[in-house]
Chain A
Amino acid sequence: MRATIDAPTKELTPDSAPEPGTGHHGQRFLVGDTVYIRPIELFDAKVGASWRDTLFPQSPDRVETWIKEDMVKQKDIQHLAIVRKADDRVVGSASIARDGNVANFLSLRVDPLFGERGKAWAAEAVPMLVEWLVDERQRPMLSMFLPADEHEILNAALAAGMQETARFREMLEKDGKRIDRLVLTRLNPLWVQTIGDPNSVELERTGTGQARPIPPKLTIEGDPPRNAVMVGKRVYLRPEERSDGDLVADLARRETETFFDIGRHLVSSVSHTHWTGKAQKAALPSWIWFSVCLRENDEMIGSVGVINVNYQHRYAETGSFFQRQDYRGSGYGSEAKHLLLEYAFEHLDLHMLQSWVYFPNTRSAAALRKQGYKEAGRINWLYSHNGTFDNFVLFDLLREEWRAMPRAEWVGPTGESAQREADAS
């Protein structure tokens, strides 16, 4: 005989479910001692404040709209509720972002109003999620970013086989103090057997590793270049504009170096223009790029930017790319980068910047060290590449460190004649 479903049908519509505490009945995985994990459903909108990871208050109607219109379209992010078994109260959420079929990122949010109890629930959820995603669903790796003071969750993560591979200094702000953020990863042991332990892959370093003096602030004689935001001796930064798209597309086709990223890309002008316009529309943009132009003739030679800007914790990630190959390796990049750092630290008031560099790109890593960045660790297995998964080296730079770096001096009465070659040796 066919078995019948082992719970009353009315359980299927939680609005009419009268018996709190039965929500996990029948569930065969992701059920712990005090909490269980299930997908976010529309009715969870009513208690959004307990699980939505947002700084701002959102009404149930707004959360419902987010579920219906945004969440359901996020094919690469799964949102799950952490629910208390005793009474089916939603106490937090977990989301899993997939990046290709290698990297998976877990983020957890438990309602802070539950205090220490909430942290214990998060600590209970971590090993269940790690085991499900890595061992059962066979993802090669799962990573999580965790505030360094979350000891209970950290211990649970370490007990579940995660390893700390990086520490970003002072990335988060809590109760007026700066807190480090840890990168934790569990590698699938079967994949370690197949392709080896990535922690034994050594980072190749080139250059001296020493920071060099920063070009000093410049007082411009005469008018600034058109639309400039930051001006240096040889280059200036201005907003990206429509006509940059054609140049970027043309230069992408001329690229001969393949090691910056995983191979060369062909960029179209129409999509460059689209994404630039979109980023600039935001009231608080999280993606801020500048075109780097030569002062002598206003030609665009590269791009620098801050991405994933977090205005609450005041951190961001930096990026740069010099489309013009003939301007690489001659100090233009560092000059532009320091203009960007000045913008990020002094104009946006950011406290900390991070940067991620693909292991083979030793030149960019050496440039970051010269600019004052410090190594924060590594994150393994982000990309699939030629018979293995590739690793990234992580850097951070604090505003106070950048401010304390020695400034080079301009020689000459106008301040524009020549830079002392402090780095000539």
Chain B
Amino acid sequence: MMCDAVRHERGNRSTPDGGHHGQAFLVGNEISIHPIEKEDAEAGMSWCDTPYPLSPDSIARWISERMVHDRDTEWYAIVRRVDDRVVGSATVHLHEGTAWLDLYADPLYGAPASRWRGETLSLIVSWMVDERAARKMRIYLAADDHVLIAAARASGMRQTARLREIYDHAGGRVDLLVFEYHNTEWLGALGDPMETPLPRTGADQPGSVPAHAPLPGDPPRNAVLIGERVYIRPFEREDAEREALLSRRETEIAFLAGRQLDSAIEINASRSAEERRALPQWIPFAACLRATGEMIGIVDLFGIHFRHRYAETGSYLLRPEDRGKGYGSDAKHLLLEFAFDRLGMHVVQSRVRFSNTRSAAALRKQGYRDAGRLTWTHPVDGAFGNDALFDLLASEWRALPRRSG
């Protein structure tokens, strides 16, 4: 009788070889997948993907105060079937029809840990995409993680991008591979996004980096880095009001897939929250004209990872009339100098929508290289559009020709 089995298991999760009995899905040969519960905090170091030692109390607090609030992310324990021991975790983040998967297994187990992750991957891919109707699943894999790459391929995932030298593994740099799995019925309805050609404009050749501009006098107020025509400085409260106003004056529709209305209060709230962090994951700068001090745009680093020393770059010029004049590239090279020379980043990446050929051409001119694609990221023209990925190594940027000042 089923209810007896239920009673037996309640509160008896540690009974060896019992935890998966009756589970109807997400059960593999060696492992099964359970939601994270508070008692899993006791063995947190086996499943928490953190480089820092965290006590069971800290992890229990994270479970009951943080984990339960995040409705877009699901945390699961990877449990070894023979003895119900938690040996790793799977995190699924659902956003806009994409399920992102992160897998972690306690590295102290060595080779079996890779195998368990592979088994978890194949269980979760079919559950999330075929049963729970995510349009696609995406995972980032280290290029030297051969067991998991094989498991991803065996599950029908395809490599969509290679970002060079993202990970720092035991003193060497390792590429990051993006793998995606697409729902078969959506492939039938929309066609294969891997076959959509990337439109290109521009020369594709890297240009030169503007030279450091010697200062005739004092630097502009609060400047962090200074170029010939533009400088970058921290954001100020009033900048957000200007951004909000100019977002209402935007005339270009296509490259953003529609104009957005930004409020100053929301812009300031997210920036000030980030500035309070000891190690920020997002560093935005105001790009200003040296001639007038006027703020003309934003350049930023986000998704900053200090351990592996990579980040993503972004830039935006607020007024249509400032675009196409090289201000954006001037400001971008100041941002790259900040990223590589001050923060010590090893590599940066950038992504643009396929339709945004102008930004893609600008990235190539700034020295970035094409790295692949992320598919079906946004609705456009009655289908889902793709993003192009780019990367740029610090060494490549340093080797670009410098213009004389």
Give the B-binding residues of A (Cβ under 8 A).
Answer: 2-3, 5, 11-13, 26-30, 37-42, 67-68, 71-73, 78-80, 100-102, 132, 136-140, 188-195, 246-247, 249-251, 253-256, 258, 262-271, 274-275, 299, 324, 326, 383-388
B147 within 8 A of partner (CB):
no
A224 CA to B258 CA in the complex, in Å?
60
Residue of A nearest to B75 (CB): A268
Contact yes or no, B64 A274, CB < 8 A = yes
- 30 intermolecular pairs with C-beta atoms under 8 Å apart: A2-B321, A13-B241, A28-B249, A29-B259, A39-B244, A39-B262, A73-B269, A78-B261, A80-B261, A100-B97, A136-B259, A137-B259, A138-B380, A190-B382, A191-B379, A194-B189, A194-B190, A250-B10, A254-B22, A263-B131, A263-B132, A263-B133, A264-B24, A268-B35, A268-B36, A269-B35, A269-B38, A270-B37, A271-B68, A386-B133
Contact with A along B269-285 (1 / 0, CB 8 A): 11000000000000000
Contact with A along B19-35 (1 / 0, CB 8 A): 00011111000000111
Q: Which residues of A sit under 8 angstroms from B244, Cβ to Cβ? A: 39, 41
B195 within 8 A of partner (CB):
no
Q: In the complex, how many angstroms separate the beta carbon of B264 from the nearest chain A beta carbon? A: 6
Contact yes or no, B33 A38, CB < 8 A = no
Of the listed stretches B180-188, B215-223, B364-372, B389-397, name the one at the interface; the rest are far from the partner chain. Answer: B180-188
Residue of B nearest to A271 (CB): B68
Q: Which residues of A sit under 8 angstroms from B25, Cβ to Cβ? A: 253, 255, 264
Q: Which of A138, A256, A383 has the most CB of B within 10 A?
A: A138
B93 within 8 A of partner (CB):
no
A80 CA to B262 CA in the complex, in Å?
10
- Kindly state the interface size class of chain B when it binds its partner: 35 or more
Task: Pick from B34, B183, B259, B378: contact of A266, CB below 8 A.
Answer: B34
Interface class of chain B by DSSP: mixed
Task: Pick from A73, A269, A275: contact of B37, CB below 8 A.
Answer: A269
Known pairs A269-B35, A387-B186. 16 more at Cβ < 8 A? A27-B248, A30-B261, A38-B248, A39-B261, A39-B262, A68-B265, A101-B378, A137-B257, A138-B381, A250-B10, A256-B24, A264-B24, A265-B132, A268-B35, A270-B38, A299-B3
Contact yes or no, A254 B2, CB < 8 A = yes
Give the A-binding residues of B (Cβ under 8 A).
Answer: 2-3, 6, 9-11, 22-26, 33-38, 63-64, 67-69, 74, 76, 96-97, 127, 131-133, 135, 183-190, 238, 241-242, 244-245, 248-251, 253, 257-266, 269-270, 319, 321-322, 325, 378-383
Residue of B nearest to A257 (CB): B24
Task: Pick from B63, B245, B250, B269: contact of A12, CB below 8 A.
Answer: B245
Residue of B nearest to A261 (CB): B132
Contact yes or no, A249 B23, CB < 8 A = no
Task: Pick from B184, B248, B259, B382: contact of A193, CB below 8 A.
Answer: B382
- Supposing A72-B269, A266-B33 touch, asked if A386 and B186 sit within 8 A by C-beta, the answer is yes
- Supposing A29-B259, A100-B96 touch, asked if A72 and B270 sit within 8 A by C-beta, the answer is yes
Q: Which residues of A sit under 8 angstroms from B381, Cβ to Cβ? A: 138, 190
Residue of A nearest to B69 (CB): A274
- Supposing A13-B241, A247-B10, A254-B24 touch, asked if A138 and B258 sit within 8 A by C-beta, the answer is yes
Residue of B nearest to A388 (CB): B189
